[in-house]
Amino acid sequence: MNRAPRGTPTPPTATPTPVPAPAPADAGATASGGAAPASTARPGTVLLGQGMTRVYHDRTVLHGVDLAVPRGQTVAVLGPSGAGKSTMLRCLAGLEPLQEGTVAFQGELLSRAGSAPRAAGGRIGMVFQQFNLFPHLTAAQNVSLAPRKARGVRTAEADARARELLTRVGLAEHTDHYPYELSGGQQQRVAIARALAMDPELMLFDEPTSALDPEFTREVLAVMRDLADSGMTIVVVTHEMDFARRGADRVVFMADGRIVEDGPAQDVLTAPEQERTRRFLDQILSE
């Protein structure tokens, strides 16, 4: 699926830390420890992770992973439990430090080995498995809170924007409801609206439907497809094969802390090149 990229965003006022130019390599190459894909050197790359290595208690969870995400692309990350998918996503979001490697966003270095990650200032939105809504706030109040507190947006403006976003995710009639009055799917859509309230240039989703019943899963996936169709740059860790097939431009398959296969969604899902990918897809599709 070819989507027109969004316009170039206004650069941040802070002076960005320069990112070393990646070494050239074959397009699409993502083998652990190898050179970064050639696409990372082209204008339009929104997110770039190079050599990302993450270690927990002497156990290496990510092994030198490279990932480049062009503007306007939707990337579905697949793989078995324990493959390192969520860890990679958290490193890309600047929520986990790296033992080796770097993460850059819009050409600005956010994370490097040995240093605490820098905040992206709301330009990267993230939606987790759990909704993490404030139980004492209404849906609209949950959505408007961050713009008011982090950016000093006036209450009236933040509230109007919150209601606009809740309408966009199909919750126009639930703006004044508290989380306990909402279904799981509705709460997750509030969480998506909350992330969108900061006007991110990139959205990261970590198994956003894993805790939902099938009916509510469809509601959330419909919102994600709408975001993808609008040109939002998206990386989503998911086991929802229908979304990967119909909603993603590209599929990245991970196993054992490495990217095993990376390519156009239809190619990877219908004719994977790697045996490890084929085994995973055979198991998932047979369930």
Tens of pLDDT, residue by residue over 194-239, are 999 999 999 999 999 998 998 899 999 999 999 999 999 999 999 9
The CA distance from 62 to 49, in Å, is 12
> Which pLDDT does position 246 carry in this prediction?
92
> Which pLDDT does position 287 carry in this prediction?
67
CB 160 within 8 Å of CB 217: no
Confidence of residue 119 (pLDDT cuts 50, 70, 90): confident
Structure tokens at 161: 């924007």
How many other C-beta atoms lie within 10 A of the C-beta of residue 227?
Answer: 20
Tally helices (H) and strands (E) across the chain: 8, 10
Q: Is the pLDDT of residue 40 over 90?
A: no
Q: What is the pLDDT of residues 254-280, one digit of tens each?
A: 999 999 999 999 999 999 999 999 999
23 three-class SS: coil
**Looking up tokens 């956003």, which residue turns up?**
208
Cα-to-chain-centroid distance, residue 155: 28
pTM of the prediction? 0.83
Q: What is the arrangement of strands in the sheet containing 59-70, beginning at the earlier edge strand?
A: 59-70, 45-56, 100-105, 108-112
Q: What is the pLDDT of residues 146-159, one digit of tens each?
A: 999 999 999 999 99
Per mean pLDDT, which range of 39-53, 139-153, 165-179 is the poorest?
Answer: 39-53
Query: What stretches of 90-153 adopt beta strand conformation (E)?
Result: 100-105, 108-112, 124-127
**Residue percentage of the chain with pLDDT more than 70:** 85
Looking at residues 67-81, what average pLDDT do you find? 97
CB 37 within 8 Å of CB 27: yes
* CA dihedral of 12, 85, 237, 251, whole degrees rounded to 10: 90
